[in-house]
Copies of this chain bind each other. A is one copy, B any other.
Amino acid sequence: MLASTSRYRAFPALRPGDPVTVVAPASPFDRASFEAGLEIIAGRYRVQYDPGLLTRHRYLAGSDERRLAELATALADTRARAVFCARGGYGMLRLLPGLEGIAIGAKPVIGFSDITPLHQLLQRQGHVSVHGPVLTQLSRLDAPAHARLFELLESQTPAEDLTGAETYVEGVAEGPLLGGNLAVLTRLLGTPFLAPLEGAVLLLEDVGERPYQLDRMWTHLELAGVFRQVRGIVLGEFIGCEEKGAEYSSAQVLRELAAATGLPCAAGFPIGHGAQNLAVPLGTRVRLDAGSRRLSFLESAAG
């Protein structure tokens, strides 16, 4: 079982001034957050987007047809050097069958949460992508979070290590970093849209799920055999996941679930729905030293 360095291809490093595209494949958002995020990206790159992304249909940023056409065009476009997702929420799953067979240029997708299935699509096709802030979140993050994102997109040296808050299971694991949002990732189980997780270091984070729901999703991964495939577990933030009035915490529940896998696992990395959401490259080789709560990046995302 190889944690192959070459299984995933780095994307060509971005340079300031490069053209990039913004897409909205999932839920709608308010214009103010969008424009605030746009300003941050536009301070660095030349941003293009279809004004149709401000459309709203129930909990979706426009019809499936609109979102699919926008995303397929952005992924295939050979001129734009990166695809920034405006927001997560819900909606990416609905586009998956329509994206099969489309050509994906060598460029990163940036996003998280509901964007997880899009990352998985890129990893299925052998691409590295960037688990990081969505555009509408950018203005609520601080300058170091912005700097880390730009560095990840532009630098040919590996990202700086991240430190977690707690060791759940000691041990060291090395492999490509894969995964993302727990709720959304588990919605790919039993479908052809899940990237092979064999040999991976699995990243999981979530928001607004009660402890028993975290347990249910984690148990789904377990019953599907995922914890027999992966080598280690990196837990990002689990925000708003407490049960009111309960004498137990989501951390206690996650710690016990992690212990049952026997896999190296550290928790509380500043990844996901928290105040930082530091960008990390999916598909690049990482080393988790759970005992010292350290996640090291062994490859650059950009080549």
* Chain A residues with a Cβ under 8 A of chain B: 27, 58-59, 89-90, 93-94, 96-97, 186-194, 211-213, 215-217, 219-220, 223-225, 243, 246-248, 253
Contacts and interface: CB of A to CB of B under 8 A. Distances in A.
A152 B243 CA distance: 38
Contacts of A187: 186, 216-217, 219-220, 223
A124 B225 CA distance: 19
A211 B59 CA distance: 9
A219 B253 contact: no
A225 B96 CA distance: 13
Given A90-B212, A190-B189, A253 B220 contact: no
Q: Chain A: interface secondary structure? A: loop
A58 B191 contact: no
Contact of A193 (B59, B186, B223, B248): B223
A226 to B, nearest CB: 9
Contacts of A253: 58
A187 B186 CA distance: 8
Contact of A191 (B89, B97, B193, B223): B223
Contacts of A189: 189-191
A36 B66 CA distance: 54
B212 A191 contact: no
Nearest to A26: B212
A38 B225 CA distance: 38
Closest A-B pairs by Cβ, 3 of them: A190-B190, A189-B190, A191-B223
A216 B183 CA distance: 10
17 contacts: A58-B246, A59-B215, A90-B212, A90-B213, A90-B215, A90-B216, A93-B216, A93-B219, A93-B220, A94-B215, A187-B216, A187-B217, A187-B220, A190-B190, A191-B220, A191-B223, A191-B225
A189 B191 CA distance: 8
Contacts of A246: 58
B248 A211 contact: no
Nearest to A191: B223
A67 to B, nearest CB: 14
A29 to B, nearest CB: 14
Contacts of A211: 58-59
A216 B58 CA distance: 14
Given A189-B191, A190-B191, A191-B189, A93 B223 contact: yes
Contacts of A188: 223
Contacts of A220: 93, 187, 190-191
